[in-house]
Structure 1
Amino acid sequence: MESFSSYSDAEIWNLFRGGSDKAYEYIYHRHSVELFSYGLYVVNNRPLVEDCMHDLFVYLFQHRASLGETNAIKYYLFKSLRRRILEAVETRTRQHNRGNEFTNTLPETASSPEEKMIEAETSSSRNKHLMEAVTALPPRQREAIFLLYFSNLDYPETAEIMGLNIRTVYNQVHTAIQTLRKQLSHASLLPVFLE
């Protein structure tokens, strides 16, 4: 695969929009694992997230010539995936309310390659306890922490992706950090961003 490491996001995106399959491959390989992890923070339903990611990348490929510009590909993908997931959940909820079968939202027990990679990266005791504590947070707090500290987005980007105002994001994060400090301080497991 061609290396785009010296290109800016805007240049890669414009190459992709101009028809470069190599740029498309690069975008997919560069962002798919993190995008999938983010999707699981939005909704704990592996098949739903996989379907939404597939639909997103097919849509991008089919409509690339008409896509708008961006200078932050990860932000663009996160926002697009979140919108697709919420629409899919809403559709399934409506179907359920009409008496149709609703897909179980519990994660599957079989580990995927992404899960194995994440488990390997978080094998230390500190990371294990941190992830357990983050997972126990309410969904909006968990999502905000993921976007800010694990995906390195800033507050305005996080607010835009979540559809909240910046003050609400600050409040969600403040409450989440207070909760995490209480849960992790007893075992001296505070990560740098909580100290």
Structure 2
Amino acid sequence: MDQKKHPLNRPAELVVWQQFLSGDTVAFAYLMSSHFQVLFRYGSKFSKDKEFVKDCIQDLFLIIWERRDRLNSEVAVKPYLMASLRRLMNRSGQSRTGLSNEIPGENQEGFDIEYSVEEEYIEQESVRVITQRFKKLLDELPKRQKEVIYLKFFQEMDRNQISEVMDISPQTVSNLLQIAIRQLKEYWKVELLTLLLVHFY
């Protein structure tokens, strides 16, 4: 399959997923190659051990291949894979360190956003400076608030997809977004926030 000529929009992605479920090895290879970078970037926000992240991604695809006859044929593929990787990394990390079964708390390290806002959205120098200052504010948010902002604005996921990835309720997603944006408003000018959110929505 030609990835450049056939970008993975939702319907096409679902077709590939269903072909994979039927045992199509070409679809399986395409599924891996087309999602690897997204999964690697996402996994790298939880762990700085790049080899560990790669191993977890490889394990994830081996697991879904082995269990393909039991998987749902109607899924949002990217959120499903991201949620599965998140859970797998959590379990694998616990087995490596002997940690409890709980995901790290709000104030612990565990989610690091690497921004590419300048390259993707910003061309004017004045706006670039504003973005750098806005990034600093985002970096001061608690871990889960940073993650929900990343999934919403950088991965363009809706509330239900974020809920699936983070394993929290849709209402909790809304609450986290509202709290994060309220905190940003408290520490920065409203017009700055409005300017940057226009780029993200």
TM-score norm. by structure 2 comes to 0.69
Instruction: Between the two structures, name the one with larger relative contact order (CA 8 Å, sep ≥ 6).
Output: 1
Structure 1: distance between partners of 2:54 and 2:131: 25
- The Cα of 1:180 is off from its aligned counterpart by 3.1
Shift in CA distance, 87/71, structure 1 to aligned 2, threshold 3 Å? same
Structure 1: distance between partners of 2:41 and 2:61: 16
Report the 3-state secondary structure (helix = DSSP H, G, I; strand = E; otherwise coil) of the residue aligned with 1:70.
coil
- The Cα of 1:16 is off from its aligned counterpart by 1.1
Report the 3-state secondary structure (helix = DSSP H, G, I; strand = E; otherwise coil) of the residue aligned with 1:68.
coil
Contact 1:17 1:67 in 2 (8 A): yes
Match of 2:104 in 1: none
- The one-letter code sitting in structure 2 at the alignment partner of 1:138 is P
- The Cα of 1:191 is off from its aligned counterpart by 1.0
| Correspondence 1:192 to 2:190 | no
- The one-letter code sitting in structure 2 at the alignment partner of 1:27 is L
Q: Which moved more, 1:147-156 or 1:32-41?
A: 32-41
TM-score norm. by structure 1 comes to 0.71
Contact 2:40 2:54 in 1 (8 A): yes
Identity of aligned residues (%): 28
Q: 2:119 aligns with which of 102, 121, 129?
A: 121
Match of 2:41 in 1: 37
Contact 2:82 2:165 in 1 (8 A): yes
Q: Which moved more, 1:80-89 or 1:172-181?
A: 172-181
Deviations 1:164-193 (A, max 9, x none): 222222221112112334455399474125
Contact 1:70 1:76 in 2 (8 A): no
- The Cα of 1:25 is off from its aligned counterpart by 2.8
Structure 2: distance between partners of 1:155 and 1:121: 26
Shift in CA distance, 122/8, structure 1 to aligned 2, threshold 3 Å? closer
Shift in CA distance, 186/69, structure 1 to aligned 2, threshold 3 Å? closer
Structure 2: distance between partners of 1:46 and 1:161: 21
Shift in CA distance, 175/120, structure 1 to aligned 2, threshold 3 Å? closer
Deviations 1:15-43 (A, max 9, x none): 112222332232223222222222233x1
Deviations 1:19-70 (A, max 9, x none): 22332232223222222222233x1423332222121122233433443323
| Correspondence 1:161 to 2:150 | no
Aligned pairs for 1:60-75 within 5 A:
60-75=64-79
Aligned pairs for 1:1-195 within 5 A:
1-2=1-2, 4-5=6-7, 8-41=12-45, 43-47=46-50, 48-94=52-98, 118=116, 121=119, 124=122, 125=128, 126-183=130-187, 185=189, 188=192, 190-193=195-198
Q: What number of residue pairs does the alignment pair up?
A: 178
Contact 1:38 1:146 in 2 (8 A): no
